[in-house]
Amino acid sequence: MKVQIIDMDHKGNGISKLDNKVIFIPKGITGDTCDISIYKNYKNYDIGKINEITKNSDLRKEVLCPYFSVCGGCNIINMDYQEQLKFKENKVKNVFKKYLNIEINPKVIGSIKQYGYRNKITYHNDTSLGLIGEFGGVIDINKCLLVSNKVNELYNEIKELDLSNVKLITIRECDNGLILIVTGKLKIDNLKGLCIEIVINNESVYKKEDGYISIGELKYKVSPNAFFQINTSNICQLYDEVVRYGEFSKNDNVIDLYCGVGSISLYIAKYVKSVLGIEIIPEAINDAKDNAKINNIKNAEFVCGDVSKLISNSIDGDILIVDPPRIGLDRHTTEVINEKKIKKLIYVSCDVMTLVRDIKLLTNYKLGKISVIDMFPGTHHCESITVLERE
């Protein structure tokens, strides 16, 4: 059936209407006219699948990836990059308006790289090793444009091996080489020359050296299990924005909750009196402590534990930085932050829906400035930094 895409939802799906029923159409862009079939049928809406685009939206651009129509990876890489940024800006604006009834005017910062930016990728294995498809299953690919040639080469070497007992393969790219993380069983003899470390089922079975990623003046050790921002090219822009909003002084004691390998803590350490980072993954906290030493930073401390359990005692700072996972802050943490007299809260978020939910609960804080930073070009995901000040 022939439909027109009239808008896009916050997940980057095209929206159309037929007989008053909404149809969400993955990879459809506002302004497209296309021929679709209904892929899934629900009571209040349908999900459509594009068979053919009969008229291209002006917002489209040429897609360089041959797997785009079937791969579930980058869903808006078919939009001109400036339009991708506008999409993300509007998404954040609309969510603030809808859930907080606040009009915002965020600063938008694009990504330095639009391709080859990902320092980590996970491949799934069923009949072949590849990426999860848009409509389920695993898509067998030769190359993903979001990772470097080195990562694509290692992936293709792995595909030559017996993968019958492999579930997942993750590759992380550090400045000094690749870390391979395997879930399952894999014969790795041919891969040793291509990796600095190989981890199988959480056990390091081969290690030439630790992995390091440099951001600005700092060098970070990143263990296989530790979180690190995905888009290496844009991390400086993200952390510089934290520094800008922090307006730090040498009198400030800062708490960095969900600190990972100490990346933000150590980046801001030179501007403040002290910084305390809290993180739940022991390997990440060990990295954070090592990273303080590697970079000769003396005013940063790190504690391993669950933020929600440590929050009541640990918060005694002037400025609080939170960078939680997609689920946002838990209820208890939000309540404690709301009660404590923190001068300024800097909320780094990778999910605007949980961000607004948390802001709604932080009633003792007034909303300040917001920046949207594109850490995930080609996808609908977006990172933001919001400043909240004590009323």
Ligand X SMILES: C[S@@+](CC[C@H](N)C(=O)[O-])C[C@H]1O[C@@H](n2cnc3c(N)ncnc32)[C@H](O)[C@@H]1O
Catalytic positions, written as ranges: 350
Residues of the shown chain interacting with ligand X in the complex, contacts defined by CB under 6 A: 227-229, 258-260, 263-264, 278-281, 284, 306-308, 323-325
Q: Rounded to whole angstroms, how far apart are CA atoms 387 and 368?
A: 5
* Cα angle for residues 104, 109, 111 (degrees, 5° grid): 145
Q: Which is nearer to ligand X, 147 or 373 (CB)?
A: 373
Q: Which residue has the tokens 């040793």?
A: 192
Least separation in angstroms between residue 323's CB and ligand X is 4
Q: How far is the CB of 259 from ligand X (least distance, A)?
A: 5
**Least CB distance to ligand X at residue 101 (A):** 27
Reference 173, options 124, 227, 213; nearest CA is: 213
DSSP state of 327: T
Least separation in angstroms between residue 320's CB and ligand X is: 13
Task: State the residue number with the nearest CB to ligand X.
Answer: 260
Q: Measure the N-to-C terminal CA separation of the chain; round to a whole number of Å.
A: 54
Q: How far is the CB of 307 from ligand X (least distance, A)?
A: 4
DSSP secondary structure code for residue 198 in this structure: E
Name the residue nearer to ligand X (CB basis): 284 or 370.
Answer: 284
Non-local CB neighbours of 232 within 8 Å, separated by 6+ positions: 117, 119, 173, 213, 215
Q: Output 65 or 346, the one with its CB closest to ligand X.
A: 346
Burial 290-322 (b: 16+ CB within 10 A, else e): bbbebbebebbebebeebbebbeebbebbbbbb
Report yes or no: 67 and 15 within 8 Å, Cβ to Cβ. no
Q: Compare residues 169 and 373 and give the one whose CB is closer to ligand X.
A: 373
